[in-house]
Amino acid sequence: MTSVSSRQSADPAPYAPDAEVVRLTSELIRIDTSNYGPEPGPGERTAAERVAELLDEVGIESRLYESEPRRTSLVASWAPDGVDASAPPLLIHAHLDVVPANAADWQLDPFAGEISDGCVWGRGAVDMKDFDAMLLSVVRARARAGVAPRRPIRMIFTADEEAGGLLGSQWLVDHHPEHLEDCPEAIGEVGGFSLTVKDDLRLYLVQTAEKGMNWLKLIADGTAGHGSMRNFDNAVTELSGAVTRIGEYKWPDRITASQRAFLDAVSEALQVDLDPDTVEQTLQRLGSISRMVGATMSNTANPTMLQAGYKHNVIPGQATAAIDGRTVPGGEEEFFATIKELIGEKVRYENVVNLQAVETEFAGALVEAMQTSLVAEDPQARAVPYLMSGGTDAKAWARLGVSCFGFAPLKLPPDLDFVGMFHGIDERVPTESLEFGARVLDRFLAIA
């Protein structure tokens, strides 16, 4: 397909922005970049070196940075002849790491990158080696054809996003902010995918906000002793009570601007009035996306790990638990006050990860470019904002004032459980969706 920019050129240079996207997605999946958090893993070095090679082949130089051995991020700037040099760079970011996968649970090898039933299968197919490949396919096609984007592009492929970005995006902000300080806007993952609500309408969810991430370690201290004795200062008992209270707590709804805009769009599309008390039941008509939407109606806190003791007949002197807390924009103060009340006086907490919620206004030229590029490929498209329950590298970039949007466009089959693919088994992405996304991204770069 010929892109918007090549049709506008006085001397068109035809090229296919989607030509390599399927192959590159498969290739990147085959590079195991599993992120085990504090445990050692293969690291992102091999993937970063391969991305550097792919960019170098079309004359784009890049720099590799390592926060720790093999925890590698890549930065590249692309401003070929023909760009508007007076415009600030657009940051396009993607991460190279993936969460681990147990091959025994999968239909196909999660690190084989196989193509089957019209999909590319494997860990990272949707989170997020698909967008890595889209970006590379588009940029390589344009560079070879000599077709410049409208404005300079700053590409960052990060390490460690799946563990909060401390060794990737957060490290880059702390040690190399010069690569971001001239970028007022950014696009990245978990946005731009379609949600079919009617035969003649697909909502494309653009992430304009994401919840804060507050990972806590609960600690209960007690008196150690023999398991056969009475013990009224038992750390396990105190911790269990705190964990139960947190797990059973019903957080009050807190509707943000991004959430309200999304709910209004859904209300209009479904032609129903959304009652705040029954909104989650109504949203179930949208399929699996309702799980993500439900998680963004309020703060959340889920116990995820417990640790105590070392022998059956020994009462331990300490017990610990992990809590995955997520806060809506503006909800952090309420979150910590509530946690303190729930855990009681005999349990304390430590912050393991504390990343602020972010929110960007769904307006401006960049948003208009998203809508225009989507409609050019899908006449039934309508871009709408939404609040994401998880987190991305946008949290780091926002520290430097970058306005971040999730825009990795995919036109998806209505029956595909896309949300369930994130960190799930049998992760896969349709090849047609990848090619669609590359074409939309190409149009976007021509006008953004």
Question: How does DSSP classify residue 378?
Answer: -
Residue 8's pLDDT is what? 41
Residue 276's pLDDT is what? 60
Residue 6's pLDDT is what? 37
Residue 275's pLDDT is what? 65
Residue 294's pLDDT is what? 77
Residue 264's pLDDT is what? 85
How many C-alpha atoms does 285 have within 13 Å on its Cβ side? 13
Q: Which residues of the chain have pLDDT under 70?
A: 1-13, 274-282, 285-289
Torsion sign across C-alpha atoms 59, 52, 184, 172: negative
Residue 268's pLDDT is what? 83
User: What contacts 223, CB < 8 A, 6 or more positions away?
Assistant: 231, 233, 234, 315, 317
As given in the structure block, the two tokens for residue 331 are 């909800």
Q: Is there a contact between 270 and 290 (Cβ–Cβ < 8 Å)?
A: no
Residue 87's pLDDT is what? 98
Give residue-wise pLDDT tens across range 195-211: 988 888 999 999 999 99
Question: What is the set of domains in the chain, with CATH numbers?
Answer: 4-189+390-447 (3.40.630.10), 215-248+300-353 (3.30.70.360)
Residue 271's pLDDT is what? 77
Residue 409's pLDDT is what? 98
CA 436 – CA 201 distance, rounded (Å): 17
Residue 300's pLDDT is what? 96
Q: Is there a contact between 373 and 443 (Cβ–Cβ < 8 Å)?
A: yes
3 state SS of 111: coil
Tokens 């926060």 belong to residue:
67
Considering the entire predicted model, what is its pTM? 0.90
Chain-centroid distance of CA 184 in Å reads: 20
Residue 288's pLDDT is what? 67
User: What contacts 331, CB < 8 A, 6 or more positions away?
Assistant: 212, 254, 298, 299, 357
CA 1 – CA 4 distance, rounded (Å): 10
* Alpha-carbon distances of 399 from 122, 171, 180, 245, rounded to whole Å: 33, 12, 10, 33
